[in-house]
Amino acid sequence: MSKRVLMAMSGGIDSSISALLLLEQGYELVGVTFRTFDYIQESCIAREKGCCSVESIMEAKHFAESLGVEHHILDFRQTFKEHVIANFVDEYRHGRTPNPCVLCNSHIKWGLLLDAADEYHCDFIATGHYAQIEARNGHYYLKCAADRQKDQTYFLWMLTEENLKRTIFPLGGLTKTEVREIALQHNFERLAKKSESQEICFIPDNDYRTFLANEGCQVRPGNYVDQEGKKIGRHSGYYNYTIGQRKGLGIAFGVPKYVTRIDAEHNQVTLGDYDDLYANELSANEMRLRDIAWLQESPSVLARIRHKSPATPANIEIPEDFETSHNASIHFTDPVWGVTPGQSVVLYKDELVVGGGLIS
């Protein structure tokens, strides 16, 4: 008897080819496409063809129908607004730089989707993410994708073992080039040539500052200060900045200056030199560790502090009260640049995701 899989379909090449591969492997599919956000601003017309737009939803529906797959459209807009957008706005209000994709994966794609899987009597859910799953030492782990350039494990660290037990990643062992070749082999030329958006799905034109203003974040100019706390100019509102930012400061010093700290409470933005952004350690909260005993016995890990950064040798320090605090410290072998509060730190061993947390 074939296993029944709930396939998350966005209308893009990755989820579409994932569905095709699962059908060829003998799975029974139920396709779902969810709507998380409404694009209502005039400046967003060009993005109507992007993720979660009406056009992409209908493309997913038509593709599912062409494969003979049952398809449903799910409205997740209210939950997305309450969990993802509200967190995004709140993090900026507190001077941090959030990563909404991490929360979306945890609360929406592996929250509401698993509920939908139960409703449609599906054993598993599947997505077009580039990641793999491996069982080892009695635990289920995320594993890096075969295509390191497309690997998405950084965005998936919040997934629990229960999530992974019911998940299939059909593209985990493939490269993006191979996925495009499969599309061409099946005469899906338009799909193979479809471009990908690298932007946050709910931010029109990638302009998060205007989005925050529309969500009620009021601009309050404040002081730029140097590394010693001395006033050196005025900024346009602290949530307009992020750690490591160099351009758009609105002030000239004759030499490049970078945002090194954001103090929301005092409405101050600290500017410094490039080297001021190097750090030997970081603290993280909301940590999730897959096997604490393994990490206590062998604390050496590779730590990634942003999606595009290389994983860097480090050691994790797990406090005695971890089970209640969910806090930990990461100490790097060599200094890393641009540690940013609100972003994720993801820990790896042997290409497995062994933990992650939010940089505090």
Of residues 191 and 118, the one with the higher pLDDT is: 118
User: Quick check: is 146 in a domain?
Assistant: yes
Give the pLDDT band (50/70/90) at residue 46: very low
Averaged pLDDT, 146-168: 97
Catalytic residue (choose from 51, 52, 101, 201): 201
Is the residue at 228 inside a domain?
A: yes
Last residue of a domain, one of 252, 272, 292: 272
Point out the domain boundary residue: 205, 228, 259. Answer: 205
Looking from the CA of 134 toward its CB, the CA atoms found within 13 Å total 17
Q: Is residue 26 part of a domain?
A: yes
Predicted confidence at residue 55, as pLDDT, reads 84
* 201/323 same-domain check: no
Query: Is residue 23 in some structural domain?
Result: yes
In whole angstroms, what is the distance from residue 207 CA to residue 110 CA?
Answer: 27
Q: Report whether pLDDT(25) > 60.
A: yes
Q: What is the pLDDT of residues 115-125, one digit of tens each?
A: 999 999 999 99
**Buried b / exposed e across 174-188, counting CB within 10 Å, b at 16+?**
bbbeebbebbeeeeb
Tens digit of pLDDT for each residue in 223-235? 999 999 999 999 9
Do both 182 and 264 map to the same domain?
no
CATH of the domain at 238: 2.30.30.280
Q: How far apart are CA 215 and CA 209, in angstroms?
A: 10
Task: Enter the tokens of residue 276.
Answer: 């001021």
- CB–CB of 314/301 below 8 Å? yes
In the predicted model, is pLDDT for residue 250 greater than 80?
yes
Average pLDDT over residues 157-164: 96
Q: Give pLDDT, residue 47.
A: 41
pLDDT for residue 154: 97
**44: confidence class by pLDDT, cuts 50, 70, 90:** very low
Asked if residue 156 and residue 37 are part of one domain, the reply reads yes
Same domain, 260 and 188: no
Give the pLDDT score at 197.
66
pLDDT of residue 43: 39
Q: Is residue 301 domain-resident? A: yes
284 shares a domain with 268: no
CB 278 within 8 A of CB 315: no
Single residue among 205, 234, 255 that ends a domain in this structure: 205
Residue 49 clears pLDDT 90, i.e. is over it: no
What was the pLDDT predicted at 198?
Answer: 66
Residue 214 within a domain: no
Q: Are residue 268 and residue 177 in the same domain, yes or no? A: no
* Pairing between β-strand 300-304 and β-strand 231-235 as defined by DSSP bridges: unpaired
Handedness of CA 296, 299, 305, 309 (dihedral sign): negative
Tell me: do 43 and 188 sit in the same domain.
yes
> Which range marks the domain in which residue 112 is found?
4-205
CATH of the domain at 335: 2.40.30.10
Does residue 213 lie within any of the structural domains? no
Residue 118 sits in the same domain as residue 226: no
What tokens does 333 get? 């072998």
Structural tokens at position 145: 């994708």
Pair 340, 197 in one domain: no
Write the CB contacts of 148 (distance below 8 Å, at least 6 apart in sequence): none
pLDDT reported for residue 339: 97
Q: What is the mean pLDDT of residues 1-27?
A: 93
**Residue position matching structure tokens 């929406």:** 108
- Do the domain assignments include residue 212? no
C-alpha 149/C-alpha 152 separation (Å) is: 9
User: What's the mean pLDDT when you consider all of the chain?
Assistant: 92
pLDDT at 51: 57
Instruction: Please give the tally of structural domains in the chain.
Output: 3
Whether 180 and 302 map to the same domain: the answer is no
| pLDDT at 1 exceeding the cut of 70 | no
What is the C-alpha to C-alpha distance for residues 183 and 167, in angstroms, rounded to an integer?
A: 23
Give the CATH number of the domain where residue 169 resides: 3.40.50.620
Exactly one of 51, 101, 104, 144 is catalytic; which is it? 104
Mark whether 201 and 307 lie in a shared domain. no
pLDDT tier at 160, thresholds 50, 70, 90: very high
pLDDT of res. 45: 38
Active site residue 104: yes
The verdict on 223 and 186 lying in the same domain is: no
Model pTM score: 0.93
